[in-house]
């Protein structure tokens, strides 16, 4: 076989092709490298700059200070005090199990608490602090400071916590704050709230959360590669929450709370001219400070299961029949519609019957009151007079007349939790009971029984309108501009005076039902009432109160304004299961009025 001849041309061509391919590969690689460089240095420069900054700059939230709450005279009611919490940062712990054992030589944890901490750490980023105990004692803080060098991963953080100065007296009115729940946090702006914030849960704290909370600031800290702090500055200062100035007079609030003694119930005092609520008590109250960091299960169970229902706000949510406290309004309706005149009389035999019906409607006084007019009927609370007047008025006129007084409606008071109640009418019964209205229901409406459900705050609004002769000053708890209007009906001054005279006689006439609380220093006008707890049979009507167990006794009501000749305040009292408005509720109202008048004289 012969020797193969060389082919220089083909070899050079092959070499050139390989060089070209190599150059193309190199150029492609270079272009890829260049594009990556362009991407990193130009397109993604900002993102990587931020990441680089975050490696050396730490951004921290500066919590705003929650607004304070004061009474009308500048007395502090809700404060912020410094407290301390214990945090753990998992990445800084050397041995988590051992660290959790070591910390218990300084700060005590139960086995359940330790198990809970371990569970939370599973879902908490290792670099993020986790709060494991709030409100450390001074001794715990001091002991931790001494042993800090052995407590790797733990740190103590100061923070502000709410402190209520008059927790029981104002428990329902101010309410309380607690740790924001996941549901509440989800509904808030993450730029304003953190998962560790406090949040208004009830009362004014809840209703005015947006005003009280404020807006967080931002702190910038520069650190080096070893984590040492180089500098620190406030990038954005926090905006603290607004303070609230209440219409409440804390001295009168305390007097109102104490006036109940061992009774439970509600009392509200309103400045008639302005609609400012001077005192609003629901008794019993409870210590709102127990709820701030989470109340213990045993404490909460005791409150929730108490027969006295301390967690229930009777002033805003309690629903009661008005009983005979509705009679002044029924009398005014009769005068306004010319159904009766000031001098018209009727004979009260103690029993009333609708024409052509057998059912008997009884008076509270066996045998009746004899010949009475409208003033007499208010003075002695004559049921028969108001049975007849209500029947002649009819439910339509009664409903339409009472509605502008805010009965059975939300008053719009500036706090959380108000319930609506019921002002009975044909339409209401048809809608809610799917039944027609009966004449007998109109009869008992005249003495505040039947479907009526009113809250004490509604009674207070209506009473201030009655006392001021039709001037509607919207009741409120925060000092602000006063909203005033007039009733949408032209009631004569003579008719107002007739009703006022009857209410004045209740306390000041020899035969007045509440003459026991008469004052020698000033005139009180008022009206007592009882709110039925259960329906009585005919033979039970005149049974003595003492024969009934406490929980079956009627609620006792009393409404009053003073001084009667120049009304300044309206007072509503509900004494639950007090049985008699004159014996249980009226003395409480008298103590409240005395407290107000003594302050006014100072």
Catalogue the active-site residues: 324
| CA-to-CA separations, 486 to 84, 465, 474, 598, 600, in angstroms, rounded | 53, 9, 11, 31, 27
Please give the helix or strand (H or E) that residue 53 lies within, else none: helix 45-56
Closest CA to 62 of 221, 285, 224: 221
CA gap 556, 578 in Å, rounded: 5
CA gap 317, 334 in Å, rounded: 30
Q: Which long-range contacts (CB under 8 A, 24 or more apart) does 388-392 make?
A: 388/346, 388/352, 388/446, 389/330, 389/331, 389/334, 389/339, 389/340, 389/446, 390/330, 390/442, 390/443, 390/444, 390/445, 390/446, 390/447, 391/354, 391/439, 391/442, 391/443, 391/446, 392/334, 392/339
Three-class SS of 253-316: HHHHHHHCCCCCEEEEEEECCCCEEEEEEEECCCCHHHHCCCCCHHHHHHHHHCCCCCCCCHHH
DSSP letter for 453, please.
Answer: B
Q: Which residues lie below 8 Å from residue 322, measured CB to CB, with a gap of 6+?
A: 407, 448, 452, 454, 459, 529, 531, 557
CA gap 256, 265 in Å, rounded: 11
CA gap 251, 268 in Å, rounded: 14
Phi, psi (degrees; rounded to nearest 5) at 78:
-130, 120
């Amino acid at each position: 076989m012969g020797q193969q001849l060389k082919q220089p041309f083909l070899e050079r061509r092959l070499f050139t092709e390989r060089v070209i391919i190599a150059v193309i590969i190199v150029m492609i690689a270079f272009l890829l490298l260049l594009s990556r460089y362009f991407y990193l240095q130009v397109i993604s420069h900002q993102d990587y700059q931020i990441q680089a900054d975050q490696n050396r700059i730490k951004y921290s939230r500066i919590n705003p200070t929650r607004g304070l709450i004061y009474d009308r005279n500048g007395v502090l009611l809700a404060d912020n005090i410094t407290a301390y919490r214990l945090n753990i940062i998992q990445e800084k712990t050397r041995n988590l199990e051992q660290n959790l054992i070591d910390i218990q030589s300084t700060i005590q944890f139960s086995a359940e608490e330790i198990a809970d901490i371990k569970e939370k750490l599973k879902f908490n980023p290792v670099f993020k602090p986790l709060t494991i105990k709030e409100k450390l004692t001074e001794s715990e803080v001091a002991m931790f400071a001494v042993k800090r060098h052995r407590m790797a991963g733990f740190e103590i953080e100061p923070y502000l916590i709410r402190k209520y100065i008059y927790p029981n007296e104002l428990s329902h009115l101010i309410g309380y704050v607690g740790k924001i729940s996941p549901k509440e946090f989800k509904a808030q702006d993450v730029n304003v709230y953190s998962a560790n914030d406090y949040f208004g849960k009830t009362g004014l704290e809840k209703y005015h959360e947006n005003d009280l909370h404020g807006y967080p600031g931002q702190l910038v800290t520069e650190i080096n590669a070893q984590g040492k702090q180089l500098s620190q500055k406030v990038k954005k200062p926090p905006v603290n929450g607004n303070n609230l100035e209440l219409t409440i007079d804390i001295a009168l609030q305390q007097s109102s709370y104490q006036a109940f003694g061992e009774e439970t119930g509600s009392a509200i005092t309103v400045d008639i001219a302005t609609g400012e609520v001077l005192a609003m008590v629901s008794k019993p109250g409870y210590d709102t400070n127990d709820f701030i960091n989470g109340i213990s299960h045993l404490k909460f169970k005791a409150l929730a299961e108490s027969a006295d229902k301390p967690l229930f706000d009777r002033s805003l949510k309690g629903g009661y029949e008005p009983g005979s406290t509705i009679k002044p309004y029924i009398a005014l309706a009769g005068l306004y519609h010319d159904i009766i005149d000031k001098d018209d009389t009727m004979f009260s035999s103690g029993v009333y019957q609708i024409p052509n019906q057998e059912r008997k409607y009884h008076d509270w006084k066996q045998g009746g009151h004899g010949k009475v007019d409208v003033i007499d009927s208010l003075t002695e609370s004559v049921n028969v007079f108001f049975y007849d007047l209500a029947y002649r008025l009819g439910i339509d006129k009664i409903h339409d007349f009472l509605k502008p007084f805010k009965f059975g409606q939300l008053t719009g008071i500036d706090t959380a939790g108000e319930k609506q109640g019921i002002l009975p009418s044909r339409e209401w019964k048809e809608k809610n009971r799917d039944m027609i209205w009966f004449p007998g229901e109109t009869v008992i409406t005249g003495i505040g029984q039947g479907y009526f459900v009113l809250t004490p705050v509604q009674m207070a609004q209506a009473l201030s309108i009655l006392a001021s002769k039709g001037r509607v000053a919207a009741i409120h708890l925060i000092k602000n501009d006063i909203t005033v209007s007039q009733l949408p009906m032209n009631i004569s001054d003579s008719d107002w005076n007739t009703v006022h005279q009857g209410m004045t006689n209740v306390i000041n006439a020899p035969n007045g039902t509440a003459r026991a609380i008469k004052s020698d220093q000033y005139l009180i006008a008022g009206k007592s009432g009882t709110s039925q707890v259960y329906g009585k049979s005919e033979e039970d009507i005149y049974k003595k109160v003492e024969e009934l167990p406490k929980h079956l006794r009627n609620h006792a009501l009393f409404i009053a304004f003073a001084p009667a000749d120049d009304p300044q305040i309206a007072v509503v009292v509900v004494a639950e299961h007090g049985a008699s408005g004159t014996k249980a509720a009226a003395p409480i109202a008298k103590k409240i009025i005395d407290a107000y008048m003594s302050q006014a004289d100072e």
